[in-house]
Structure 1
């Protein structure tokens, strides 16, 4: 049996990240800013707290990130009933998703670690044995590159992501509402109060959902009818793949900028609307909006919407699931 371990990676710039094989979780991200260390990732004080919190802090999410309506999917005219864990729906892979599994450390070096998980046929209701690896690379140009790979024995939907929450001002600062965010997307997916898509893709020009120019997160945050439904941003944006980056986040003091690039078709923007009472590193608790998650993925409930303009979320036995997401940090001294 594997034991819980913490791995530290560092680069020539003095950046350091910490990871654990519990949930293949990204625990910490420390940047050298003006001669001081700035922790820009939300996290808990102990692994026990990680195991108790329900905000998915920094965890690898699978087998299917985001929501599947009514926890059911149809493959070749056969209905599969998945484990529901958010009312009648499934969220982030079910009650015992990949975030709650102890992964094997397949390989490890100073700037790279690969975690391995075998998800059995029928895990949380999903068909097929899924063989998964997640590799974290820390480069010398301050990129954290996350590589996701998987193979299956039966046709199954696969949607792996990382659920890191960022606060580029430093995670001890109150919230991320004075950050600026840009997302290169012309469309977003409207959802109901349960986060389930209830319409087709909509233009970002509707309902004040446009993030194509850098926008202060606090700007009319709860005035948009769409954001009132979800208590803030909690929406998937279909990325404009003609643009080099998916998103850019800028700290309120403008000292740290983070660029996100990914091979995935969409980005779930979640402003931590329900983070209240999540344990933090300092024997206290985070409040709502303490961090923002930028989760690369297929659109939510994709197994039930094959018509959406993105590659299929179903992995076939002869295929390899292969995606990456990179978070690159720029420090303005």
Structure 2
């Protein structure tokens, strides 16, 4: 049953900016509500094999909750740099830039006041399209360059949530934008996602150190829990002993995508509900996070989110790329146009 959140729950001023809630719909009845606070996907109602619509993303019921409750980046646009930058610093042309650190010695997801924690300017283009824009000043969270960013959410009639990212800077900088939605295809957030089937088209993943930062090498997934080249349940993967799994109490790793020319990079299926999610992207990597640190968080409709209540598939360039010359570059030149596209496509598995 589709029970939308009252837009008044998101009518709130924050740092002299007005927070709002917007509703997108397609012709097939799929509905998503998105707030301009952090550009967050608040809910997303998609049908199961019996045509029953349920919300499949974690989040909160109000702007107040997003501002005051523990922030796990639910549904947010992440920037300027998605994932971790080691020791909160990097260099461009022999100039060192010191970043705001918000995870011990690292910067995570753009810093404490990254794009997830600002109010975006919003314009609803149509019933199915929302445009968000933000101006990030030079040295915002430590990053160089005045950066103009635009993100376009589209709910297509092919049952896709399509996200397009655009940006331009007036100075050399680094950029790595992504979306941090947490999915549970069962539509029941009391259920674990351990029985979901996962496929990730990657022969390699990036091993991490004890700070969850890639050590700089590519590791073959063969004969390891990281081999998702064929569909298997999360439970099957977690049952294999591996020191990398122990580091993060589950998966929190970037996978090196085989071939993004076709766009298709991952698939998840919940057999009970019949819901299927396919991921398409222009990015070279995808961060698979298995909800390791959810712990008694009171979310929408007073549901307590527990460990493994949801998963994230964050399409992106590799973590800590500005400090790893062998990783694909995230450098954006002055005046150069940044573009990235990701599609989350929903269907019924039969």
Is TM-score (shorter-chain normalized) higher than 0.5?
yes
**Does the 8 Å CA contact 2:292/2:308 hold for their aligned counterparts?**
yes
| Pair 1:73 & 2:59 matched | no
- Equivalent residue, structure 1, for 2:288: 269
CA distance in 1, matches of 2:222, 2:149: 38
Deviations 1:244-296 (A, max 9, x none): 41100001415111100000110000001001133211224200111000000
Q: Provide the C-alpha distance between the structure 1 equivalents of 2:227 and 2:237, rounded to a whole number of angstroms.
A: 12
Query: In terms of mean alpha carbon deviation, does 223-232 or 4-13 score higher?
Result: 223-232
Query: What's the counterpart of residue 147 of structure 1?
Result: 164
Of 303, 306, 313, the residue aligned with 1:294 is 313
Q: Which runs of 5+ in 1 are unaligned?
A: none
Deviations 1:164-183 (A, max 9, x none): 00000114342111000000
1:185 to 194, 202, 211: 202
Query: Residues 207 and 226 of structure 1 are in contact (CA less than 8 Å); yes or no, is this contact kept in structure 2?
Result: no
Pairing 1:128-277 to 2, within 5 Å after superposition: 128-205=145-222, 207-221=224-238, 223-241=241-259, 243-253=262-272, 255-277=274-296
User: What's the TM-score once normalised by structure 1's chain length?
Assistant: 0.96
**Structure 2 counterpart SS, 1:196:** coil
- SS of the aligned residue for 2:138 comes to coil
Deviates more, 1:189-198 or 1:221-230: 221-230
Q: C-alpha deviations, 1:281-325, integer Å up to 9, x for none? A: 1224200111000000010000001212x3x20111121110000
- Provide closer, same or farther for how the CA distance between residues 7 and 324 of structure 1 changes in structure 2, counting only shifts above 3 A: same
Counterpart Cα distance in 2 of 1:186 and 1:15:
34
Say which of 104, 117, 122 aligns to 2:134.
117
Partner of 1:13 in structure 2?
Answer: 28
In structure 2, the residue matched to 1:282 is 301
* 8 Å contact kept, 2:190–2:304: no
Q: Any stretches of 5+ residues in structure 2 without a counterpart?
A: 1-15
Question: CA separation of 1:149/1:107 partners in 2, compared to 1, >3 Å: closer, same or farther?
Answer: same
SS at 1:167 equivalent: coil
Distance in 1 (alpha carbons) for counterparts of 2:75 and 2:296 = 17
Write out per-residue CA displacement over residues 10-67 of structure 1, whole angstroms, 9 at most, x where no aligned residue: 1111110110000011111001332422111111122221223221000000000000
Size of the alignment, in residue pairs? 331
TM-score (structure 2 length as normaliser)? 0.91
